[in-house]
């Protein structure tokens, strides 16, 4: 598991800015338990951080401000730039923890689409924590930032950690996994997002109707972990699983065609990433991923495709 914060003047540029990157995630496996009394579902997931990165740059400011540019910032449902944005809440939380004024101008440059099942908002929050720790000199420990991340959202701790990890609880309780082998994927990104709460609600509806398993039987993650460690690609392809795929397809039937298009184009396997609607297509090496992306880009099934690899480190300072 990788994490970098360091703080101090070494990462503050001449213009007073600090920049951090954080990665998207793919849930290589995702088992969702029944709805709990606290309103959450228990999860057992295997996270993989991939090389689709958002960039967060923070500068001294008076009060808080957030600007967002890049992927998914326009259209009918733009990324919010107020307290609804996890970056804003991350800044408030770190300032409260450290006892410093929440003064910063925060600029988010997105390549991870919003509401796509890739945890882009969580990645932004993780990068903001790391960058603001350096800007404000809070000297927060790794444990401090991880605790704050868990308070922000289920996927934010993994945005800090990166690499490969088993997530339990709501996904925020992480166990790092050593997996040195690189895996290559093509992400098929659709027009429009899917609401994560809506996908979970649809899962509950399908379970109540007896159309999908009730989630009480949790499979062992070991086949996925063994495949991630050493392969072959066919072993990982056979182990991919996502309990949210069925409800995502129920809400967005075009996903069925998108998954089929990926496998028909040569993917070893394809699954909906997290709550969707992004399709993560596993390729047998970098060259195969480039060929797969070229075919899918030409078919027009997705708004855009991205070739990525993983595991990659979590949120870290750059520059």
Tell me the catalytic residues. Answer: 25, 155
Rounded Cα distance, 313 and 201, in Å: 32
| Number of Cβ atoms within 10 Å of the Cβ of 163 | 22
Residue 255, both tokens: 């996903």
Secondary structure (DSSP) of 274-299: TTSS-EEEEESSHHHHHHHHHHHHHH
Residue 166, both tokens: 């088993």
CA 191 to mean position of chain CA atoms:
18
Q: What are the CA-CA distances from residue 43 to residues 31, 32, 154, 243, 250 (Å)?
A: 6, 5, 10, 10, 21
Strands 64-70 and 104-110: parallel
Rounded Cα distance, 202 and 60, in Å: 43
133 closest CA partner among 49, 58, 55: 58
Rounded Cα distance, 22 and 124, in Å: 7
CA 195 to mean position of chain CA atoms:
14
Rounded Cα distance, 231 and 214, in Å: 30
Q: Which residues have a Cβ under 8 Å from the Cβ of 176 and sit 6 or more positions away?
A: 1, 161, 163, 164, 165
User: Token match 């991919």: residue?
Assistant: 240
Torsion sign over Cα 122, 83, 169, 190: negative
Residue 79, both tokens: 């990324």
């Amino acid at each position: 598991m990788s994490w970098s914060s360091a703080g101090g003047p070494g990462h503050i540029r001449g213009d007073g800015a600090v920049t951090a990157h954080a990665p998207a995630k793919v849930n290589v496996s995702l088992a969702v338990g029944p709805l709990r009394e606290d309103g959450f579902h228990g999860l057992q997931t295997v996270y993989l951080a991939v090389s689709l990165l958002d960039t967060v740059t923070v500068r001294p400011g008076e009060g808080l401000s957030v600007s967002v540019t890049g992927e998914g910032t326009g259209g009918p449902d733009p990324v919010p730039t107020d307290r609804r944005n996890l970056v804003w809440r991350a800044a408030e939380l770190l300032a409260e923890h450290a006892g410093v004024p929440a003064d910063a101008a925060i600029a988010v440059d997105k390549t991870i689409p919003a509401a796509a099942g890739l945890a882009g908002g969580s990645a932004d929050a993780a990068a903001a924590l790391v960058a603001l720790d350096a800007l404000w000199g809070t000297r927060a420990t790794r444990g401090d930032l991880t605790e704050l991340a868990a308070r922000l959202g289920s996927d934010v701790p993994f945005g800090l950690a990166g690499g490969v990890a088993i997530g339990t609880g709501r996904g925020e309780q992480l166990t790092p996994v050593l997996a040195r082998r690189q895996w290559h994927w093509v992400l098929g990104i659709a027009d429009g997002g899917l609401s994560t709460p809506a996908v979970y609600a649809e899962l509950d509806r399908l379970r109540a109707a007896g159309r999908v398993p009730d989630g009480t039987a949790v499979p062992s993650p070991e086949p996925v972990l063994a495949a991630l460690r050493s392969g072959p690609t066919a072993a990982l392809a056979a182990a991919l699983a996502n309990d949210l795929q069925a409800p995502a397809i129920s809400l967005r039937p075009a996903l069925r065609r998108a998954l089929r298009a990926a496998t028909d184009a040569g993917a070893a396997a394809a699954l909906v990433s997290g709550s969707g609607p992004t399709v993560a297509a596993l390729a047998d090496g970098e060259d195969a991923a480039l060929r797969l992306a070229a075919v899918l880009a030409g078919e027009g099934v997705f708004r855009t495709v991205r070739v990525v690899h993983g595991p990659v480190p979590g949120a870290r300072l750059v520059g």
